[in-house]
Structure 1
Amino acid sequence: MLWLVMELSLQLLNPFWPAGYKGIDVRAQSPLKVGSDCQTPTATTPSSKLPDYFETTLGWYAGPTATGESPWLAQTNAAPFAGVSYIPNTPLETQAPISGNKHGRNVFERLGHMSPYFPNPRGFGVHEYPIPLGANVTWLNMVHRHGSRYPEVGGNELRLARKLTEAKGKFQAHGALSFLNDWRNVLGAEILVPVGKQQLFDSGTLHYYQYGHLYPNDGSRIIARTTTQRRMLESAEYFMAGFFGLGWTQNATLELVIESKGFNNTLAGYNACNRTSWDMGGKTAREWAEVYLLDAHERIRSNIQGDLDWTLSDTYSAQALCAYETVAVGFSHWCSLFTYEEWEAFEYSLDIAFAAGTGFLSPVGRAIGIGYVQEVLARMQHHVLSSPTAQINTTLDNNTVTFPTHQALNFDFSHDSNIISILVAFGLTQFAEYLPPTRILPDREFVMAYIEPFAGRLDIEVIQAPAPINPNRSVAIDKLYENGPPTSYVHFVLNQRTVPLGRSLKECGERDDGWCEMNTFFGVQKMQVEKAEFEWACFGDYEMPEYGVVRDGRPPKKE
C-alpha cells in the first residue's frame, strides 16, 4: 500500500515523468526496499512541483542524522602546543604531541579514509605539467567524496563510547588516560561535522578557480548528482555554494538518486551487488591489529583500574575516536595515546580493509564501480545509456533531462569505498599491489589517506590540442607539438595530483604528463568493462576466496 501511495503521489508531483515510469530502476523488482543501515523514509510536503529526483526537501532515504554537541575548542583544548598548525587557519588542533614523531610528520595524514582532506604530498609517480599554449581543457567529470562526518551508527567507535558511558563511575583511569575519568561522548552519527562542510565549500571554490570557464553562462542550469543520504546532499550543496555562491540554485539543479539496498545507483554501486568482501577485509585488518597494537593495548590497560573490560578491539576503536573527535570538536585526547609508528600501522590496517573490501583485492572491486565508468564513457561520447548494464539506473540515464550528454561540467558526489571501486573499474592497476597483513609495505601506492581522505575527489579532464603533443614534455617549446591532426587527451587528477594512465593502461604509452590519447582511452576502457564481469561478480554462485587470492578486482573464473 505504501508503495502504491508513493507511486501515485510522485506521478501527481511530476508533469515531466517519463511515460510508463514505475519507480527507480531496481535489479530486484521489489517495492520500497530499506536497508538495515537506513531509516524508513518519511514523506514531507514538497516545496514545488518538481520531479522527486530534483526535489531536495523530501527527506527520503536520508540515512541516520544524529547531531553531536557543539564544539567548544576554546574551553576543551589542552593546546596550544608549540609549532605550526596542520593547515593554516584551521579549526582543528592537530599539534598533539605524538611519541616517536620526527621531521614534522603529522598523524592526521595517517588516518586513512578518516583523514581530513589534504592533497597527496608525494603524488602518484608523475610530474605535473601545464596545459600547452593552444590546447584547452574542454570537459570535466568530477566524482567527490562527502566531507568529514561523525561515525556510522553501527560503528565500533560509538560502541566503545556507549561502553565507557555505561561503565562511568565503575573504573578509575590514571596517567595519560586520566581524561577518561571525566570523558563523555559528544559525537553524533553519520552526518557532516562543521569542518566537513568547510571542506566541500573550499573544494567548490577551488574547482571554480580551476574550471569556472566551463560553465556556459547562457542562463541554463547544469545537472549535478548526489544520493539521498543527508551527508551526501549537504556535501553537494556546500560544494555548489563554493563554486557558484549562495545563489547556486540559479546555476545548477541537484538530482538525488536513492541510496538504499536493491536500488540501482552508480554513486553507491555496492547496494546493487549481492556479494560483498568487507568481512574478509575486516578480518584481515584485525589480524594486523593483533600484531601492531599489543604494546599500546597493554599501556592502556595498565592505566585502568576497576570494572572495565578493555579489549584489543577497544584499543583499535580508540584510534578511530581520535579521528572522529578531532573533526567533530577540534581536539581529542585519544590521539596522544599512540606512537607515530602505531598511527602508521593503523593507517595500514585501513588500507588492507579497503583494498580487500572494494579494491583490487576484492572479487567485487571492478563490478561495484563499473556502472559509473560506463556513465563517464557515455558522457564523454555524448549518448545516454538505455540497456540495463551493471547497476545503472536506466530510468535516469536514458533521459537527457536527468543525464545530460553535452554538459561540460559534470559534478557527482559519492562515498569512499565506491570511488575506490571506480578507480579499480577504470583499471588503474598501480593501486593493485598485495598488502601483507604481517608487516607494513612501506612504499605502497594504495594509501587511503592519499586516495580517499574525507572530501577526496577524482577530476577527469578532456584536453583538446591543435596537434599531437610530444609525450616528452621536457622538450623545447617549438618541439612540443608534433605533426598531425587535432588530438584530444584524457587526464586523471586524484586529490590534485595526476594519476599516470600509461602506468596502468599500457596502451596509453609512457607519457611524461600521464595523459592518454582519447580514442586510445575509449578502446582500453571497453576492455575494462568486459573485465568487470558484473553479473558473475555480484550474483554468481562462487565461494568467497581467502584474502590475497584475488589481485585483479574480480572473482575466480567460473568453472
Structure 2
Amino acid sequence: MNDETESDRGALLPQYTHDDGEEEVDKEVLFDEEAPLNDTPARRRRPKWQSPRSKNVMVAAGCLFVLPIVCLLSPLLALDTLVPRSPEQAHAPSHKFTLTSANPDAGSHTQDHRPWPTNDGFPQEPFRTDIGDIGPTQTGAEAFIVQTAAAYPLESALNPAIVRPTAKDARGPDDFDVLRHLGPLTPYTSSPNYLPTTPLAPDTCEIDSVHMIHRHGSRYPTPNSMPLKFSEKLSTAVKANMNSDNAIGFNGELAFLNEWRYAIGHSILTPVGRWQLYNSGAGFRLKYGHLLTKLTSHKPVFRTTTQDRMFKSAINWLAGFFGVESWQEESHLSILHEARGYNNTLAPWETCPREDSYQSAKHVHAWRNKYLRNAQKRLNKQAVGYDFDIDDVFAMQELCAYETVSLGYSEFCHLFTKEEWEGYDYSWDLSFYYDAGFGSPTARAQGLGWVEETLARLEKKTPAPYDSTTNSTLDEDPVTFPLDMPIYTDFSHDTVIANIVATLNLTQFATPLPSNKIPRESRHTTRWRTSHISPFAGNLVLQVLNCRGDDTAASAKAQDEDAWEITKTHKVPPAGKYVRLALNDAVHDLSSGLDCPFDDEGLCPFDRFTSSLRTVRDEIDFAKDCHGKWSMGPHAKVSNGQITSLKKSEMRRSAVLYVAVAAALNSFSTLATPIASSYAGSQTSDELPTPTVYDSERVFELEQGFRGDSSNGALPHLSLQATKQAYPYTHDYPSILVRPVAADASTAAEFDVMENWGVNMPYKSATSVILNATTPYPPQGCTVRGVTLLQRHAERYPSSWDQAKDFADSLSAMVGENDGENAVGFIDELEFLNTYKYPLGTDKLTSVGRQTMMERGTRFALLYGQLLDTFSEHKMVVRTTTEQRMFASAKAFLAGLFGEEWNEHVHLVQQIEEDGYNSTLNVWNTCNRPDADQGDPRKEHWQNIYLRDAADRLSSKTVNANLTVEDVAGMQDLCAYETIALGYSEFCHLFTKAEWEGYGYGYDLYHYGDAGFGGPVAKASGLGWVQELLARLTNDRSNVQYTNSANSTLDMDARTFPTDQAINIDFTHDVTIAEVVTALNLTHLQRELSDEYIERSTPRWRSNAVSPFAGNLLVQSLDCSGAGYVRVVLNDAVQPLDGLGECGQSDLADEGACNFDTFVHALHQVSNEVDFTHDCFGDFNNTHVVHNGVPE
C-alpha cells in the first residue's frame, strides 16, 4: 500500500444512491454517548419563528396587503433575511441566494506553469553568488533543547499563511478547529500527551542518539483522487446540459461552484508542504543539533525514496536543518528506489503487494453513508439540475483539506458542520486502522523492515537476515547504511508510520473501531486516531538516553531494578541506558505490547527494548503474511495487524509501577558557595566535525529517476482580490522557541517577554497599528496588480559590538581577575553563570532565522503567487546584499516561494555591502555621519533608569563582584539572542515584566533616534529606495537620481534593475526599513519619545512594529474599477498616508489607498525636499534628536 490514501482507490468508495423521499433530517446519534465530542452543545429545537410553517404564514399574510405581482414573486424571495438570525447564522459566511447557471468551465481543471523561459538570455555574471563581502561571521554552539530547556516547544500553530476555516455551525475557527479533523490530511501539530511528560530529557539523563521516521509534507492529491473525479464529473455534467432546459446551477452556499475550477495539481508538495519540512528540519536542529558534534568520521547519511514528494521533503528538511546553501556540503542523502522489484523499507507495499489485505472498504462505506446523509440532503437543495451523491459530498470535504494547504483557503470548508467534520476525521480512522493498522492482516509485516533496521542501528549490527522489505545491497554497505551515527532520519509515507505503530505493538491503539458510531475516548483510554498518528509531516522518534541515576537511591535500586526515585522535579530513573518513543511529540507508553515496565516518562530499559524488537521480528512471518496462500473471508476480523492464525505473543506485561522514595529527600544540608569555573563567560562554538569531502559521493547521486507522475496546480492568489475571508495574520512566534517567563509572571501567557525585544522580536503582525481594521486584502472592487516588498533578514546571531558579547567578555574578565579568597561566584538564580560559556556566533542567520525566511516565502507564495503568471520575458530579478545573513535570507525566502529549485526561476542580484559601493539596501556605507547616531545615547540614558534596581538585585546574587547596568543590559540581550539561536535561555527569567517593557522601549529610543523621525539623516538614507520604488511604479527608470545611495551601474541596467515586474523583492536591514518609513513620511509614527519614561500614547514609533526580525514593508499597486491606487502595508498593517502629499484626501483613504497619480506626485515631492548631499556630507553638527528625519 502506498501513500495514495483510501479516498484515491475507487474500490473503497462505492456509489451511493440517496432516497429522494426522505425529507426529515436524520436524527440518529453518531457518537456513543449523549454528549457530542469536543463539548459541542446538544441540538436545540429550532425557534418557532424559524420554522417553515411560520414562514408560510408570513407569506400568506403579506399577500393580503401587497400587490398581486409581489405575491407571485414571493416564493422566490429569500425570506430568511426577514427574520431574526441565530448566532450560528449570524457568523456564517454570507451568500447570494439567487440562482445562477454554472459557467461552462465550472469544475474544469486549471493549473499554472511558470511562464518565463528557462534560459532568458540574461548573462550570469551580474547574478554570481560568490562575489565576497559577506561580512565577519562566526558559527555558535549547537542547540540542544531536549537536553537543556526548561520546557518542550510543542507545535501548536499552523503555517500563518493558511486561513483557518470555520465549520458551518461554529462561531469561528477557535470554536472548532476544522484543520485538526482531516485525518492524514491534517497539517502537522503536536499530538496530545498520553503520559505526563514531554520529549525533554529527564534531569539525570542525556540524549545519546535519536532515530526518526518522517512523513512527507502537505501534498496535492494523488492521481484518480476523489476531488479530481468530482471535478471531472461536475465539468462533464455542466457542459452536457449547458444549452438545454436542464442547465445546471447552484445557489446559496454553493453559488461559488458556478465559477469554481479545480486548481490543484497532483502528487507533489504544496508550498505549505515544503515549509512544513523546512520548519521541521530547523526545529530538529534546535532540539538535537548538539548530537552532530559526536559524528567525526563521515557526514551524516539520511534516507528517502525516489518519489518526488519524498525526495523534495528530504531536501527541504535538510535545508532547514543545515541551510539552503550548505546541506549538500554537510550531509549525504541515500535515495531508495520506490518501484516494483526493489526492496524498500520506506515503501514496503512494493515488496508486499497484497491488495486483499485492505479491509476498510465496508467500514468506510457504512460510515460515510451514515454521517454524510444530512449533508447530502442539505447540499442537494442548493443545486439545480445536479444531484450530489455521497462520494461527491465526501470529495467536497477532501477539497477543503487539499485547497487549504494548496491555495491557503477553501470555500468548501464552511459547508459542513462540526459533527460532519468529526465524522470525516473518523472515516480516515476507519480507513487507516483497517488498511494499515491493527485491523490489517499485513500491517505488522509491512512495518517489520524499518523496525529491523532500527534494531540494527541500536545494536550496531547489520539487519540480517534479509527476509522482509530490507534491502541487503544498501543495508550491508556501511556507506549507505552506517551504524555509528547519533542522528538517523528516514522519510516515508503515512501508511508506513501506521504500519510501524502496529509492528511495535502499541496496543493502546489496537481496539477495533465500529463503523456505526465514534467511540469516545477518556483520559485513561485512547484509540486509533489517524490525525494523531500520520498527519502531514508527522513523525515517529525513538530516543536513546543514558541516565546516571542518583547516589541516594543505591539501596532502593538494589531492591528493585524497576524502582524510581522521587525528586522535587520529577522521577529519576536508575542508572542505565533507556529508549523511549515520541509520536508527533507525544511520548507513549511501551509497556502494553513490549517487554517494558510502565513508566510515566515513557522510558524502557535499552536491553529490554531491543529484546522486545527481536521478539517482534520472530513473531512476524513476512513470507506468509505477504505471499502466503490465504484469504480474508467476509466475516474475518483482524485486530493484531497479522493473519489471526499466526501465533500471538505470549508475553504479559505488568502495569504496576514500583516507586521507592529516598529518605534523603527529607533532609537538607547547607550548600557551599559555588565558585565560577575558570572558563565562565568564555566563548564556545560548534563547528561540525564531519569532513566535507567523502570518497563515496557517487553512491549519493540525487538524480535517480522514479519520481512518479506529478503535476503543478494553479498558483495561489489569496491577497489579489477582495475577499470576506479572515486575513491570516501572524500571531504566534516560531513554535520551536521555548516561550520565556518573566521573573514576576506565573506563565509565559501572562506576559509576552518576546514582544518586548524591539528589533530582536521574532516576527509577528503589527496589528496594533492597523488602519480602521483594514486588512491587506484589497478593498472591495479592487485587485492587486503588483507588489514591491522590502524584506528584513530574519533572526541572526548578535554582532561583535552588541551588549551580549560585552557581558560575556566582562564575565570572563571578572572571573579571571579574582581567585583564592576573592574568587567570583554566583548563587540562586545566577548559579548557572558559574559554568556559563558564551554560545553565540556572529551575524549569521540562526536555524530559527532560516526557518522564518522559508515561512515568509511560503506565505508570500500563497498571498501573491498568481502574479508570477505575468512574467513572460525573463525570470524574476530579486535583490539582496552580499552580507551572509542577507544572502542566506534571500535564498531561504526564495526556497519558500519557488521550492528547492528556486535558482531556476530567479536571477539574484547582490549589492556589495562595503564602503565605496552605493547600495539602497545598506545606506550607511554611503551616508555614514558620526553625528547621525542620536538613538544610542538616549537608549543608554534610559537603561540607567529602568535597570538600576535589576543591577542591585542581581549583584546581591554575586560573590566578590558587582554587576553594572551595562552587564545587566547585556544579560537581557543574551535572553533574546540565545532564545532565537538555541531555542531557550536561562537569562530570560531574571527580569521582571517592567524591566522587559523597559528593554523594548530602549530599542524604540535607539531606532527612532538613529533611523526614524529622530534621526537627522533618516530621510536622506531612505531616499534612494523610494526613488527606485517610483521607477518601478511608473516603469520609468529615469525617476532614479544618482545623487543619493542608488547604484547607477546596477539601476541603469534593465537586467539587474527591471522596472516592468509585477513582483519586486529586496532584502535589507532593520534600519533601512525604518529609514524608508521615515522617507515615506508616515507621520502617525512621528511623535517624539522621552528618554525619562515610557511614552504610552499611541500611535507612536515601536521598533517591534516597524522592523522586527523578518519585518517587511509592502507596497501594493491596485486597480479599482479601472483607476489606479497605491497602499503601504507595514508588517501586515495597512498604513495611513496622511503625511504623504494629498494622499489623506483620497476617496479610499479610509482603506489606506492613495490615488496612483497623487502617490507618484508625492514621491516626487519627497525627492525634491530631501537634499542627500547636504544631509549626509554637509558642514554642520547634529547634537540632538530631530523631529522630521532631516537635520534641524
- The Cα offsets for residues 317-350 of structure 1, whole Å up to 9 and x where unpaired, read as 1111110011000111111111000000111111
Q: Out of 412, 422, 446, which is 1:368 matched to?
A: 446
> Does residue 403 of structure 1 match 2:481?
yes
Query: Residues 512 and 208 (structure 1 numbering): CA distance in 2 closer, same or farther, change over 3 Å?
Result: same
Q: Distance in 1 between matches of 2:572 and 2:347?
A: 41
Give the structure 2 partner of residue 331 of structure 1.
Answer: 409
Query: Residues 255 and 478 (structure 1 numbering): CA distance in 2 closer, same or farther, change over 3 Å?
Result: closer
Contact 1:260/1:271 (8 A) holds in 2: yes
Give the structure 2 partner of residue 421 of structure 1.
Answer: 499
Give the structure 2 partner of residue 297 of structure 1.
Answer: 376
Shift of 1:162: 1.4
The worse-fitting range, judged by mean Cα deviation, of 269-278 and 449-458 is 269-278
Contact 1:205/1:242 (8 A) holds in 2: yes
Give the structure 2 partner of residue 244 of structure 1.
Answer: 322
In structure 1, the residue corresponding to 2:515 is in which secondary structure? coil
- The Cα offsets for residues 113-164 of structure 1, whole Å up to 9 and x where unpaired, read as 00111111x2224433742344210111110000000001121121112112
- The Cα offsets for residues 1-30 of structure 1, whole Å up to 9 and x where unpaired, read as xxxxxxxxxxxxxxxxxxxxxxxxxxxxxx
> Does residue 454 of structure 1 match 2:454?
no
Q: Out of 202, 205, 221, which is 1:135 matched to?
A: 205
Q: Distance in 2 between matches of 1:481 and 1:448?
A: 33
Give the structure 1 partner of residue 567 of structure 2.
Answer: 476
* Corresponding letter in the other structure for 1:351: D
* Corresponding letter in the other structure for 2:353: N
Identity of aligned residues (%): 33
Q: Distance in 2 between matches of 1:420 and 1:67?
A: 34
Give the structure 1 partner of residue 632 of structure 2.
Answer: 544
Q: Distance in 1 between matches of 2:587 and 2:537?
A: 17
Give the structure 2 partner of residue 195 of structure 1.
Answer: 272
Q: Distance in 2 between matches of 1:286 and 1:474?
A: 51
Contact 1:107/1:343 (8 A) holds in 2: yes
> Does residue 271 of structure 1 match 2:353?
no
In structure 1, the residue corresponding to 2:566 is in which secondary structure? coil
In structure 2, the residue corresponding to 1:136 is in which secondary structure? strand
Query: Residues 285 and 503 (structure 1 numbering): CA distance in 2 closer, same or farther, change over 3 Å?
Result: same
5 Å-filtered alignment, 1:108-507, equals 108-120=179-191, 122-128=192-198, 130-168=200-238, 169=242, 170-216=247-293, 218=296, 220-246=298-324, 247-277=326-356, 279-306=358-385, 308-443=386-521, 444-467=526-549, 475-476=566-567, 481=572, 486-505=575-594, 507=595
Q: Distance in 2 between matches of 1:256 and 1:479?
A: 42
In structure 2, the residue corresponding to 1:538 is in which secondary structure? helix
Q: Out of 615, 619, 627, which is 1:531 matched to?
A: 619
- The Cα offsets for residues 67-115 of structure 1, whole Å up to 9 and x where unpaired, read as 94499xxxxxxxxxxxxxx837611111434315686220110000001
Contact 2:167/2:415 (8 A) holds in 1: no
Contact 1:220/1:251 (8 A) holds in 2: no
Q: Distance in 1 between matches of 2:371 and 2:569?
A: 55
Contact 1:363/1:554 (8 A) holds in 2: yes
Q: Distance in 1 between matches of 2:567 and 2:199?
A: 14
Contact 2:165/2:409 (8 A) holds in 1: no
Q: Distance in 2 between matches of 1:87 and 1:230?
A: 27
In structure 2, the residue corresponding to 1:514 is in which secondary structure? coil
Give the structure 1 partner of residue 642 of structure 2.
Answer: 554
Q: Distance in 1 between matches of 2:499 and 2:569?
A: 41
Contact 2:565/2:573 (8 A) holds in 1: no
Query: Residues 554 and 68 (structure 1 numbering): CA distance in 2 closer, same or farther, change over 3 Å?
Result: farther
Shift of 1:546: 4.3
Root-mean-square deviation over aligned CA pairs: 2.6
In structure 1, the residue corresponding to 2:175 is in which secondary structure? coil
* Corresponding letter in the other structure for 2:536: F
* Corresponding letter in the other structure for 2:378: R
In structure 1, the residue corresponding to 2:355 is in which secondary structure? coil
Contact 2:221/2:265 (8 A) holds in 1: yes
Q: Distance in 2 between matches of 1:310 and 1:207?
A: 45
Shift of 1:525: 1.4
Shift of 1:548: 6.7
Shift of 1:280: 2.3
Question: Considering only CA atoms, is the larger Rg found in Structure 1 or Structure 2?
Answer: 2
> Does residue 105 of structure 1 match 2:176?
yes
Q: TM-score, normalised by structure 1?
A: 0.80
Unaligned runs of 5+ in 2: 1-7, 10-108, 115-155, 648-1192
Query: Residues 343 and 481 (structure 1 numbering): CA distance in 2 closer, same or farther, change over 3 Å?
Result: closer
Shift of 1:360: 0.3
Give the structure 1 partner of residue 977 of structure 2.
Answer: none
Query: Residues 427 and 106 (structure 1 numbering): CA distance in 2 closer, same or farther, change over 3 Å?
Result: same
Query: Residues 218 and 378 (structure 1 numbering): CA distance in 2 closer, same or farther, change over 3 Å?
Result: closer
Q: Distance in 1 between matches of 2:194 and 2:355?
A: 28
Q: Distance in 1 between matches of 2:110 and 2:333?
A: 24
Q: Distance in 2 between matches of 1:129 and 1:312?
A: 42
Shift of 1:253: 0.8
In structure 1, the residue corresponding to 2:359 is in which secondary structure? helix
In structure 2, the residue corresponding to 1:267 is in which secondary structure? coil
* Corresponding letter in the other structure for 1:383: K
Q: Distance in 1 between matches of 2:417 and 2:564?
A: 43
Q: Distance in 2 between matches of 1:533 and 1:458?
A: 24
Q: TM-score, normalised by structure 2?
A: 0.39
- The Cα offsets for residues 36-86 of structure 1, whole Å up to 9 and x where unpaired, read as 99xxxxxxxxxxxxxxxxxxxxxxxxxxxx994499xxxxxxxxxxxxxx8
Q: Distance in 2 between matches of 1:176 and 1:158?
A: 21
Contact 1:276/1:357 (8 A) holds in 2: no
Q: Distance in 2 between matches of 1:106 and 1:518?
A: 39
Shift of 1:225: 0.4
Q: Distance in 2 between matches of 1:260 and 1:316?
A: 30
Contact 1:281/1:547 (8 A) holds in 2: no
Q: Distance in 2 between matches of 1:194 and 1:101?
A: 29
Between 1 and 2, higher relative CO (CA 8 Å, sep ≥ 6) is seen in 1
In structure 1, the residue corresponding to 2:189 is in which secondary structure? coil
The worse-fitting range, judged by mean Cα deviation, of 368-377 and 208-217 is 208-217
- The Cα offsets for residues 249-290 of structure 1, whole Å up to 9 and x where unpaired, read as 111111110112332100011211132356421332111101
Q: Distance in 1 between matches of 2:257 and 2:564?
A: 57
Contact 1:101/1:340 (8 A) holds in 2: no
In structure 2, the residue corresponding to 1:180 is in which secondary structure? helix
In structure 2, the residue corresponding to 1:396 is in which secondary structure? helix
Q: Distance in 2 between matches of 1:376 and 1:265?
A: 14
Contact 1:222/1:253 (8 A) holds in 2: yes
Q: Distance in 2 between matches of 1:476 and 1:229?
A: 49
Query: Residues 448 and 482 (structure 1 numbering): CA distance in 2 closer, same or farther, change over 3 Å?
Result: closer
Unaligned runs of 5+ in 1: 1-35, 38-65, 72-85
